[in-house]
Amino acid sequence: MKRYEDLSPSLRCIMTPGPVEVDPRVLRAMSFPILGQFDPEFTSIMNETMEMLRELFATGNQWAYPVDGTSRSGIEAVMVSLIAPGDRVLIPIFGRFGHLLHEIAERCGAEVFVIEKTWGSVFEPGEVIAAMHSFKPNVVAMVHGETSTGRVQPLAEIGRACRELDALFIVDAVATIGGVPVETDAWMLDAVIGGTQKCLSVPSGMAPITYNERAEAKLLTRKRVERGLRTSEVQPGELSFVRSNYFDLSMLQDYWSPLRLNHHTEMTSMLYALREGLRLTLEEGLEERFARHVLNEKALVAGLTAMGLELYGDPSCKLTVVTCVIIPEGVDGESVRSMLLERFGIEIASSFGPLKGLIWRIGTMGFSCRENNVLRVLGALEATLLRHGVSLPCGLAVQAALDVYEANIR
């Protein structure tokens, strides 16, 4: 019989665009005793989590709760619930995850219209608004922070146009929530999806979402109560009912409402983790947290530039929490990543699609977004590139980053 050793994962400095390092206090929360999902003590934790999510999303929406599953589960739940077969859906794409929205919308049976921007840039709001006037969509779905390219899309003008044209605006804020401002109400976003494993520094496994009364009104036209829970015959709504049981937001909101209508067994330990991650985020203060991400990005960029490396993408729309670096000519990018991991215990990311093998992506997110991590990755990257035969100015990268930190203290 094969024997297995005690589980003992290596300690890593994770500087990717997700997952990132998890605050020890969040890990501690995951070890707490299990409660039953309808225990009043547990439903109180559910309610507190909803309250904190409203503050995180900057919204007065009634509905703000997590979908159990990775970030993609939240995206799919929102889209499959709010996009009915035959709906006209506009998806502006400027990176990998816009293509994901496109694929999910197609699977919903929508008539999808796509506009695309060269990777490394974003849309001028007027470009999206012009496409809306042309296509007249029922739904617009868009990524806020695109981790594949390290760019962030302005949303306020697009949200206002969606409201004027009576189109629902669905936003993927998985990479930005908790690290970059996401103003749900001010930007007139109808449904927003966040992630736990990025700027919130909670393990992957839940997808916080919020949606407003406009979205709920459409959702209720598709509402159908699960057969085993009906007390009387319930007919489908005017539109075709949601084709997923697990991701049907009309049933999920009944579960998260005072009705507590059973839908699934809540992920107890993950909810503890999310609640603690949210508590820590709000305890730090959203504005202070955003400023911390800006400071560490500034130090990282200063160090990379001092090292002589070139950054990828339009700097005017750079995403604070992801920095994309062009791999120097003649360098095996995967060999560099392997050496960083094996010799220094540091993980940075490669990229996808047309950028595969061309750039590295370095995340400064959540608990990983710390001065010592930034200094560590700069020093290790410099040493690794020297080992790979790259000629660069020695010692300047860490000094440039230290200059940024010391100027911030003064």
Give which of 171, 94, 89, 91 is closest to 136, Cα–Cα.
Answer: 89
Apex 15 CA angle, 25 and 355, nearest 5: 145
Residue 361 marked ligand-binding: yes
CA distances from 12 to 21, 341, 344, 378 (A): 8, 8, 9, 15
Q: CA-CA distance, 103 to 115, in Å (whole number)?
A: 14
Q: At what angle do helices 286-306 and 268-284 cross, to 10 degrees?
A: 80
- The position carrying tokens 């940075």 is 348
Q: Do 187 and 169 touch, CB atoms closer than 8 A? A: no
Known binding-site residue numbers: 361
Known binding-site residue numbers for substrate: 361
